[in-house]
Structure 1
């Protein structure tokens, strides 16, 4: 068994010496990156060492180039998938940023339109609408503050919301 292992190790060492440069140039031509090509050459010989029990002098060269071809295919598949994901993320980021900017402009315009319409409301209705919509006060709070009944406040809110809503529909 030791003799077979030594023979296999010698065979891999001989193949490394004979084909290292050819394997490197083959990989480099396919992927175009020197550092990655060197890494893949090392991976190919490490994988070849894993199969050393199966190696025979007449087939080791073909076995090595099959390993190299598979490593290059895996590398390129991973590389293009990574590029695809990066492009997808970049595209979504750009469209989201553009959408966010557009949304902000639209929201600001709508807010201006709402304030213009609110300013046209009668004084009491305007005061109640602003207290409810912008200050977050409830009908009961507004009624207590303005010395009105809750029902009166609710009626003013109902009418003012309806007027503002109809105006905003026309703006949109």
Structure 2
């Protein structure tokens, strides 16, 4: 199979793809609990397999090499996601401060509307945890204690809220940042 891949055999690649796509997807899904990330990493795994087929080791099974590529790709994606989230959190936090002047400091009316829309669309508990953290300045432990949740659950709510805000505000924040720097 590897020899056929090295010879640019698309039929062999299709065979590998159909034999391992679901296995790679479920492997990543078990690790991340994120269908989005599992889909992304699975696709990137097969893209990398094809792009670097000439360097595949004929002494190792294709399954071993695919799972190695998947693990490496997952680590890369998590690093990129974490770095991006930290940047977005920094920008969002500069606006999500517990002060009455918050809305006055927002330069973009659309940004304000999108923030409100994103907050409205959050599940009630996620919104409450996020507001306690960002608007009231409470620590994860304080929120966990007040709401009878674990700190990990609070952390997960904050992560999901940040992800949702990034979805709604990311392009607007980027445009604002470019316009102001």
Q: TM-score, normalised by structure 2?
A: 0.44
More helix by share: 1
Q: Which has more radius of gyration?
A: 1
